[in-house]
Structure 1
C-alpha cells in the first residue's frame, strides 16, 4: 500500500533538550493514525515536525513519497486542526472556511462551491452566514474541520481537536470524526492523550513515551497484546495490575526481575476455590461497574467487576484470571512471549 506519510529516523529538540529520539513511522495512504501518550511524550512536537512548524535535527519527512523535510509549511500540502479553534471572529463561517482558498487567489465561485461541500461534510452547512461567537463549541469544531477539508490536502493533522469540548460532546464528535474520515478517505494523524478516544477512532495507534515510539498497532493489538509494560500500564482504566514474576501469581517461565500483568477486567472474584487469597481494602462504584481494591501478599491490585457483585470492605476473597489474560514483561519492560 502507498505510504501517505513516512518518518525516517526523525530527531528534534527544544533548545538543548532532545524531544524526539529517532522516530520511524509509516502511515499508509488513507489511514487514520492516532498518536497517543502522556504529556511530554513528544506527540505535539511530532505533529509540528510533520507540518513543518518545528525543525528536525536529523531524519526525513516524506508525504505521498515526496521528501518535504526542508520545505516550508505552505509547501507541504497539509491541513492542521488545533486544540484552539482559531477562527477569525470578524468573519462569517463561510469566510472562515474559505479563507485559505481566497488568499491563494482561487475564484469566488469555486471557493463558494468547495466551502459548501466541506460544510456539508461536517454538518455545518446551515450556519454559513453566522459568526463564530454565535456558535456552540461543537459547531466551532466542525467549522475548524471544514476549513481543513476545503483545501483537499494530502495529509490532515489534528492536534487534540476534541479536548476543549465537554464530555458528552466529545464522545459525539469523535464518532462524527471517525465517520468523516471514512467518507473522505484521507490520510489523517490525530494527537490525543485520551486513550478511550485513541482506541475508538484509530485504524492504528502509535504510543509515544519520552520521544520514542513504544508500540504501533491496531486498537485491539494495543489492548490485548501490549508490547511493553509502559503500554500495558498506560492503556486501560483502571490501569493494568502488576505483580513480581516470582510473586504470588505463578506463571510458567516467569522469574524474579520480571513482571506479571493482568487487567482489572480480567480478574474474577469469588468467596472460595482456587486462586489468590485477597483482602478487599476498598471499592468505588462507577455506574454499572465497581473498582474493587485488593491486597494480595502485600501487593495492591484492582478488579473491575459488576457493581451488584462487589464484596464488602474487609472481606476475604479469591482472585482468578485465565492464563491467556496474564502478560509477562522483562526487567527492561519488553514483552516476554
Structure 2
C-alpha cells in the first residue's frame, strides 16, 4: 500500500486559457505537514484548488490516500480546506458553523453537534460555541475555521494562507498552535504561504514553487543550507543570500574547480557566513560600510566591495561598524555555494 497521503503526478492546470501549473510532481506522506512556498503568481493556491477539485487538470493525475480522484467532484474527495478569508456564515453560531458540513451530509444533528463540540475543544474555541462570527476576533475566527475543517475527519487538510490576515504577534502564536495541532492529530496537511519564516517554522518539508513549477523540495534545513537554485537562494532568507561572480572579490582557498570558471559561475553565501575585521588587519577584502540595520541583538551591515560588488554581513549589534567606515571582509568557505550563472542551478560548494 502507498504511504502517500497525497500525490500529484505530472499535473498541469490552466486559468483563463493560460497554463499556471506545469507538469507538477509532488508527494506528501501520510501524516506529513508540507508547506508550499513561493511568491505571488507561483501557482501555490492553484495546487490546493486542483487537489480539492475546484480546478480541473489539463494533464496528470491526483491521488488522495491511494485513490485516484482526478475525475471526482470536490464532495467525493474527502478533503477539508481552510481559507484565508475564514469563509464563516455570519448568521450562524460558532457551533452551527462547525457542524454545517456534517449536517448537509445528513449526519444526525445531535451527532454533528457533539462532533463540533469535540473539534472546538481540540482547537481551543469550545467557549465560543454560542457566539456568531461578528463577535469574534481574527484569531478566534481562525480557530473556528480550523475546527470546521477538523470535524469532517478528512484524508487531507488544505490550508490556503490561513494566517495572513492576523497581526504579527497572533501569527506567531497561531503557527505554533497549528504545528502542535498537526502533531497531535498526525494529519496530512498542505499549507500554502508566501511567508518564508512561516514555512521554515511549520514544515516537515517545503516545496518551493516558481512560475507554476516545483523549484525544490526538501526539509527546512535543506532548503536553507543547500538551496537548489539561485531563485531559492534569493527567495528564502531575509536578507537574501549574497551572490557574486566566482573569481571576483573572493578567491576560494586551494583547488576549487567548480568556482574557477569566473563569469559563468556565481558564488553564494548567507550574511552569517561573512566575518568583519578591523581595517588594519591583513585579511580578506577591504569594503566600505554603506549602512547598518539593527534588528534586536543582530545587525546587518551593507557593504560595497572593490568592483562595486555588494555584500550583506550579519554581526552582533553591540559590535556593529559605523556607516561610512572601512572594514575587512572574509567568508567562511565551508558555507559557500557555487551556482551555474546560465541555468541558476546549484553545482556544489566552493
Cα shift at 1:15: 2.2
Output the CA distance in 2 between the equivalents of 1:123 and 1:166. 19
The answer to whether the 8 Å contact 2:275/2:332 transfers is no
Identify the residue that residue 330 of structure 1 maps to in structure 2.
340
CA displacement at 1:265 relative to structure 2: 1.7
Corresponding residue for residue 297 of structure 2: 288
Gapped runs of 5+ residues in structure 2? none
2:274/2:330 contact within 8 Å kept: yes
- Within 1, Cα distance between the matches of 2:186 and 2:115? 17
**Match of 1:84?**
85
The equivalences for 1:265-280 within 5 A come to 265-271=272-278, 272-280=281-289
* Per-residue CA distance 1:198-226 (angstroms, 9 max, x = gap): 00000000000001101100000100111
For these two proteins, the number of residue pairs brought into alignment is 337
Deviation at 1:13, TM superposition (A): 1.0
1:263 aligns to 2:270 (yes or no): yes
Q: Which residue of 2 aligns with 1:302?
A: 312
User: Cα distance, 1:188 vs. partner?
Assistant: 0.3
**2:127 equivalent to 1:126:** yes
Query: How far off its partner does 1:16 sit?
Result: 2.6
Aligned to 2:51: 50
Q: Map 1:1-337 to 2 at 5 A.
A: 2-251=3-252, 252-253=256-257, 254=259, 255=261, 256-271=263-278, 272-297=281-306, 298-331=308-341, 332-337=343-348
- Contact (CA 8 Å) 2:62, 2:70: kept in 1 or not? yes
SS of alignment partner, residue 11 of structure 2: strand
Displacement of 1:321: 2.1
CA shift, 1:303, in A, is 1.0
Deviations 1:60-113 (A, max 9, x none): 000011111111111110000000011111111000000000111111221122
Query: Is the CA contact 2:5–2:65 (under 8 Å) kept in the aligned structure 1?
Result: yes
C-alpha distance in structure 2 between counterparts of 1:258 and 1:267, whole Å: 20
- The structure 1 segments of at least 4 consecutive aligned residues displaced by more than 4 Å after TM superposition are none
Alpha-carbon distance in 2 for matches of 1:157, 1:283 = 40
Q: CA RMSD in A?
A: 1.0
Q: Distance in 1 between matches of 2:55 and 2:79?
A: 14
Please give the alpha-carbon distance, in whole angstroms, between the structure 2 residues aligned to 1:276 and 1:212.
39
Is there any run of 5+ residues in structure 1 with no aligned partner, and where?
none
Deviates further, 267-276 or 325-334: 267-276
Q: Distance in 2 between matches of 1:41 and 1:250?
A: 36
Residue deviations 1:239-271 (CA, integer Å, cap 9, x gap): 111000121122322122110011012211111
1:39 deviation in Å?
0.5
SS in 2 for 1:336: strand
Whole-angstrom CA distance in 2 between matches of 1:108 and 1:185: 27
* Cα distance in 2 for residues equivalent to 1:238 and 1:225: 16
